[in-house]
Structure 1
Amino acid sequence: MAEYVSSGGEFNRDTNYITTRITADGRDGYPVEPGRYRLIVARACPWANRAIIVRRLLGLEDALSIGFCGPTHDERSWTFDLDPGGVDPVLKIPRLRDAYLARFPDYSKGITVPAIVDVPTGQVVTNDFAQITLDFSTEWTAYHRDGAPDLYPKALRAEIDEVAQRIYTEVNNGVYRCGFAGSQEAYDKAYDRLFDALDWLTERLADRRYLVGDTITEADVRLFTTLVRFDPVYHGHFKCNRNKLSEMPVLWAYARDLFQTPGFGDTVDFVQIKQHYYIVHTDINPTRIVPKGPDLSGWLTPHGREALGGRPFGDGTPPGPPREGERVPAGHSAG
């Protein structure tokens, strides 16, 4: 199995992604076309979870199909072991790696989710997770549902970008910097950075319901997918253990508020999340034992954040229930 702990001490994420974009004008050779592309995700992955949430909030289900990899992978690739015969029913491939190699025969970097695949050619288009969700908001507007929220409003983009960048470096990636640290010094530094950022977020969210403006934006989506994994995985497995999320009242209430908002909690599969981290990271957890806890019932308790005002979807409306075939299995979420 692959090794995840950084032998050199400090973990540094490889951020060299496939930057091809799917745009309304097709300037990279891939125009937005309903039915042409397939979004490949894994519910276990926080980066993929962002794409699942944004696709659902914007109502892109009819325009962009979705394929789910299983919660674990080997050294070579994410696999479609949830599908009959272990083959994606649309792309007809057993491994996401096949779509990468179809476009780049010598591709040597990590096979990551989310990825968008061009169905007619079977070739990966992009795995640039940060740009994917922004493009859903800005390039796919012709196929948004009626009442879709504006997750990336023009007037707030500079602030959203600034907040999201700090969340990415200090929180989204910060938990990994703790978990994959290869020395005590690197871990201590990463731990301090992470909790300094969580303290900053606590202060920011103490008197405002959402991170930027008075509605849900891209920034909230990006923070949520780390917070929802914090107690099940990061607190213990990655040693991010100054506090549990449930011991940080402001962030715990904020996370519950989002979890109980349609499009957020109904995308979260706690069983797959735990299976992924505890089974795949064998150098951290060599027994591959998946813990039974924590108790998840608290996610559905009242959060009281409505008192801060705000309008979750702005002038829009909540999405409807998840589509058949896209629902989190019973018993895999809270409640």
Structure 2
Amino acid sequence: MRNLKGLQDFIPVTVASSLKGPLGWAFAKVDSELPGTEVDPLYDSERVRDLYLRADPNYTGRYTVPVLWDKKTQTIVNNESSEIIRIFNTAFDDLLPEEYAKIDLYPKGLQTEIDQMNEWMYSDINNGVYRTGFAGSQETYEKAVKTLFDALDRAEGILQEEKEYLVGNRLTEADIRLWVTVIRHDPAYHGNFKCNIKDIRSGYPAINRWMKELYWNNEAFRSSIDWHHIKAGYYSLIEVNPTRIYPLGPIPDIEPL
């Protein structure tokens, strides 16, 4: 979303290590094992948790990413990705060149349809992979994985017959929210989270076509992906992969058009 709206000059990004440790996500000051992990340029923090405690010394919740940080007030503006998407869509339009300001991924005429689609996609797909991967019993796992793939089947049906986008005839927030999960499915969720009833590349031709077109035809999507960080990060979760060994495949990471 940041790249789609041309916000790179307004909102710099600092990449934490995708290898989650006992104290959460670390910056390169204490964990530079993965190429691409960066140092906190503002406070030289060791970990993302340090930002949470800087914003609120009494904070006792989870230290999650992403974090949208306000340098002026030195606090967290938001840490929920779906809400950050909405912020980026319009909050900076007065400062952007017209070519980016006019991009609206949550247009008024499609908002109801987008909201309805987001509701089941978030519950059953975006969050569904985590309910599957972290299921504590066979019964819970089977219920979650079936719900996940029923939802993927539903998305497949929407994108069949060469439909280019999920809602209307244009790129919207709904495409972004589905894409961030399916692009990670084959390299991460399929194996590590046991989301393996089907893979995307062979089991969902319409989703696979749509995913590849966004990746190969739009630099904003392609530049947001680090395949090594995806695999190393998800397979570093010791709750589901105690050895932290990550796979080389699938090869290629994404198929050509």
Shift of 1:110: 1.0
**CA distance, structure 2, for counterparts of residue 298 and residue 136 of structure 1:** 27
Matched, 1:118 2:70: yes
Normalising by the residue count of structure 2, what TM-score does the alignment of the two structures yield? 0.90
Q: Deviations over 1:47-86 (max 9, x none)?
A: xxxxxxx010000111222211111122323221159997
**Cα contact 1:159–1:212 (8 A) shared by 2:** yes
Of residues 189, 194, 197, the one that matches 2:151 is 197
Matched, 1:257 2:242: no
Q: Deviations over 1:288-313 (max 9, x none)?
A: 111111102643x22xxxxxxxxxxx
Listed as ranges, the matches of 1:314-333 within 5 Å are: none
Stretches of structure 2 lacking an aligned partner (at least 5 in a row):
none
**Cα contact 2:15–2:38 (8 A) shared by 1:** no
Normalising by the residue count of structure 1, what TM-score does the alignment of the two structures yield? 0.70
Structure with more helix by fraction: 2
Larger relative contact order (C-alpha < 8 A, sep ≥ 6)? 1
Q: Relative to 1, partners in 2 of residues 1:78 and 1:283: Cα closer, same or farther, differing over 3 Å?
A: closer
**Cα contact 1:79–1:86 (8 A) shared by 2:** no
Figure out how many residues of one structure are paired with residues of the other and give that number.
247
Equivalent position of 2:164 in the other structure: 209
Listed as ranges, the matches of 1:40-79 within 5 Å are: 54-79=1-26
**Cα contact 1:177–1:187 (8 A) shared by 2:** yes
Seq. identity, %: 39
Matched, 1:246 2:201: yes
Listed as ranges, the matches of 1:19-34 within 5 Å are: none
Equivalent position of 2:241 in the other structure: 285
Moved more, 72-81 or 108-117: 72-81
Shift of 1:90: 2.6
Equivalent position of 1:47 in the other structure: none
Match of 1:150, as an amino acid?
Answer: D
> What is the alpha-carbon root mean square deviation over aligned residues?
1.9
Q: Which runs of 4+ in 1 moved over 6 A?
A: 83-86
Shift of 1:258: 1.2
Equivalent position of 2:115 in the other structure: 161
Stretches of structure 1 lacking an aligned partner (at least 5 in a row):
1-53, 303-335
Moved more, 195-204 or 85-94: 85-94
